[in-house]
Chain A
Amino acid sequence: MGITRRALLATVPLLGATGARAATEAPVDPVRIGVLTDLSGPYRDVTGPTSVACVRQAAAEFTRMLPGIAIEVIAGDHQNKADIGVAIVREWFDRGGVDMVIDVPTSSVALAVAAVAAEKNKVYVNSGAGTPDLTGSACNANTVKWTFDTYMLAKSTATAVVREGGQSWFFITPDYVFGHQLQRDATRFLTASGGTVLGAAVYPFPETTDFSSYLVQARASGAKVIAFCNAGNDTVNSIKQAREFGLGGPGQMLAGLLASLGVVHSLGLEAGRDLLLTESFYWNLNQRTRAFTSRLLAGSGGTIYPNMAQAGCYAGALHYLKAVAALGVAQAREDGAGVVAEMKRLPYDDDAFGQGLIRADGRALVPAYLFRVKSPPESTGPWDLYRLIATLPGEQAAPPLAEEHCKLIPA
């Protein structure tokens, strides 16, 4: 029996496999990335499945570059509860063979996970949470903070709004840490630019769906800027109702201090028009961001365009894998802090955020872009939502090291 071409071809992958095995002796456990996110609650659409898709995209692209390193991506739902998040992460580290945890929206969960990552000497890349404490009072050598924090949002949006003539402010704030932190940071920057705060309505979180009472108070205050310090569904509901109550007309501005792409998409351009907001990524910024987005949509079969938190999962995972490759898998496994040190040493370079550095405190220095939401006639498609107004360079968008009190930085 002669050798057929098909039989010959079939042996090729086999040869490759034996070659790889010979090099490493035993079958290698893959590098495992755990995406801890909100898969069922209010932050599902602003992080959630699209974050998972972004990490898978990073893994797929990395595998094409360096096929020798096996990667596995798993996902977990923390339900926005710190205890559940910590339990999942401990399980992952102790028994699941997970080497790195990424995303983790909701500040309370994000801070709890940081402590576990340090205790187990694993890698933690946070993209989805807003608290600046991850690189401040709660910083550690195993944590990298990508994408954004309340400092960046407040500085970019509040300063720009005052510059545009929005002198007097009224806040609508949810009664929990994130809301208070965002309002505090925004107040700091708007007063520094010469603005004043006329009042704030603090509403019970998370059980509020009707914002009319607070909006009527906002209207009665006569403030020129109504600022929303909330996120996710709350932002959608409150801005929608603000329009209904005639707020944001001529001479009055609405500012969404954490409104991301999905939120604006849910709002619709009619309700969201002219809203000022800050993100560190937008799919239509440049050639590279467009290329990343079309690869992601094609690769995942998804229809939801990524926002900054989700793109941060792609960039963070890709940069992590590069650091793992530089150190070698075995060494990277052993020492999470070593991988993070390598991540800080290597400049990051990806299609979503471009090129930049990670600072000693773990903060990725990504630029902050100020956008204005387009009006319906300006928009050419369902995801054509933003117009770029201003850019804040990465060094200025991150909290100054001197103010952070991070123990990694010698005072």
Chain B
Amino acid sequence: MMMILGYPAPLLFGQLLLGLINGAFYAMLSLGLAVIFGMLNIINFAHGALFMMGAFVAWMLLNYLGIGYFPALILAPLIVGAFGMVLERTLIRPLYKLDHLYGLLLTFGVALVIEGLFRNAYGSSGMPYQIPAVLGGGTNLGFMFLPNYRAWVVLVAIVMCLGTWLVIEKTRLGALLRAATENPAMVQAFGVNVPRLITLTYGGGVALAAFAGVLAAPIYSVNPNMGTSFINVVFAVVVIGGMGSILGSILTGFGLGVIEGLTKVFYPQASSTVIFLVMVIVLLARPGGLFGKAA
């Protein structure tokens, strides 16, 4: 058997692949956060709760209305996105002129309320959500057994991340958005409805979180705390990638997933802290983050 650094190569390759899968979730979640921060200057602490809502809406669609996984993949983000837009219109909007801290506190409170409501209604141990039959089973890659569903998650996540990046960097809509961030008054003068654009952006960022939630539902049990466990890591990803940098958050998300995966081979107990270690090092060397503009 081939050995790398004293470890069997199949084990390392396996963990690399698993890291990539986790990275897919980090990337999708931090992408939504980066879009919202980049365009709205709001640190959206409710992101984890909205991710959880996505998973719960998928579960509700299945159990109350008999709507399966694939339609839910589209419907749940739309429903949660609409909820996000209501949130933006009613609660978040008045805070744009204030310090970042107010938005952070508000969204943190919103997250606690949403999680509390779901915990009250559904308990904390979670609801089962089966992997759709088409994506069940797995493939033996020789060095590891890869469940088909996980392969699907990576594939969809990459498509989604690239799609979002293209929309923001290469389309007219994206150009308008970036312009509105830069100088809202000027863009408004050209006849663009900037407040609506901002509401839609928030809705879009939230929909991305909900989409990741639906993808996560069959892997993790659908429970009110599922967002909390991700959100800390995801914030670290956004900070390392550079606050508001779209491409930065995507690449960092996948990259950190891989680093975390490898740590699980060499020293598993440290796997939950290694990301924060990277964060400290990056912030010392480049305070603006890897892909951020100078702070």
Contact indicator B128/A268 (Cβ below 8 Å): yes
B125 to chain A: which residues have CB within 8 Å? 42, 44-46, 232-233, 236, 262-263, 266
B74 shortest CB reach to chain A, Å: 24
B18 to chain A: which residues have CB within 8 Å? 210, 212-213, 216
A305 to chain B: which residues have CB within 8 Å? none
B21 to chain A: which residues have CB within 8 Å? 212
Known: A216-B14, A304-B123. A42 touches B225 (CB 8 A): yes
B15 to chain A: which residues have CB within 8 Å? 213, 216
Q: How far is the CA of A204 from the CA of B145 in the complex (A)?
A: 24
A263 to chain B: which residues have CB within 8 Å? 125
Instruction: Mark A191-227 against chain B: 1 for CB-CB distance below 8 A, else 0.
Output: 0000000000111100111101110110110000000
A40 to chain B: which residues have CB within 8 Å? 116, 119, 124
Instruction: Mark B6-19 against chain A: 1 for CB-CB distance below 8 A, else 0.
Output: 00001100110010
B15 shortest CB reach to chain A, Å: 6
Residue of B nearest to A241 (CB): B219
Residue in B124, B150, B223 whose beta carbon sits within 8 Å of that of A244 in the complex: B150
Residue in B116, B123, B221, B272 whose beta carbon sits within 8 Å of that of A207 in the complex: B272
Known: A216-B15, A216-B18, A266-B221. A207 touches B124 (CB 8 A): no
Q: How far is the CA of A207 from the CA of B264 in the complex (A)?
A: 14
Q: How far is the CA of A43 from the CA of B119 in the complex (A)?
A: 12
A217 to chain B: which residues have CB within 8 Å? 11
Contact indicator A271/B269 (Cβ below 8 Å): no
Query: How many residues of A are counted as interface, with CB atoms below 8 angstroms from the partner's CB atoms?
Result: 41
A268 to chain B: which residues have CB within 8 Å? 128, 130
Residue of B nearest to A304 (CB): B123
B265 to chain A: which residues have CB within 8 Å? 213
B186 at the interface (CB under 8 A from A): no
Residue in A41, A175, A233, A240 whose beta carbon sits within 8 Å of that of B269 in the complex: A175
Contact indicator B268/A209 (Cβ below 8 Å): no
Instruction: Mark B218-233 against chain A: 1 for CB-CB distance below 8 A, else 0.
Output: 0111010110011010
B261 at the interface (CB under 8 A from A): yes
B109 shortest CB reach to chain A, Å: 16
B268 to chain A: which residues have CB within 8 Å? 201-204, 213-214
A212 to chain B: which residues have CB within 8 Å? 18, 21-22, 150
Contact indicator B130/A270 (Cβ below 8 Å): yes
Known: A212-B18, A213-B268, A245-B147. A266 touches B128 (CB 8 A): yes
B126 at the interface (CB under 8 A from A): yes
Contact indicator B145/A207 (Cβ below 8 Å): no
Query: How many residues of B are counted as interface, with CB atoms below 8 angstroms from the partner's CB atoms?
Result: 40
A108 at the interface (CB under 8 A from B): no
A391 at the interface (CB under 8 A from B): no
B278 at the interface (CB under 8 A from A): no
> Which B residues from 130 to 158 make CB contacts under 8 A with A?
130-131, 138, 144-145, 147, 149-150
Q: How far is the CA of A42 from the CA of B124 in the complex (A)?
A: 6
A237 to chain B: which residues have CB within 8 Å? 220-221
Residue of B nearest to A232 (CB): B125
Q: What are 9 A-B contacts defined by CB distance under 8 Å?
A: A45-B124, A203-B271, A207-B229, A207-B272, A209-B226, A217-B11, A219-B145, A245-B138, A266-B126
Residues in B lying within 8 Å of A, measured CB to CB: 10-11, 14-15, 18, 21-22, 116, 119, 123-128, 130-131, 138, 144-145, 147, 149-150, 219-221, 223, 225-226, 229-230, 232, 261, 264-265, 268-269, 271-273
Q: A241-B219, A268-B130 are in contact. List 20 more A-B contacts (CB 8 A).
A: A42-B124, A203-B268, A207-B229, A207-B232, A212-B21, A213-B261, A213-B271, A216-B15, A216-B144, A219-B144, A219-B145, A220-B10, A232-B125, A233-B124, A233-B225, A240-B220, A246-B138, A266-B126, A267-B128, A270-B128
Residues in A lying within 8 Å of B, measured CB to CB: 40-46, 48, 175, 201-204, 207-210, 212-214, 216-217, 219-220, 232-233, 236-237, 240-241, 244-246, 262-263, 266-268, 270-271, 304
The 5 closest A-B pairs by CB, nearest first: A268-B128, A45-B125, A213-B264, A204-B272, A44-B124
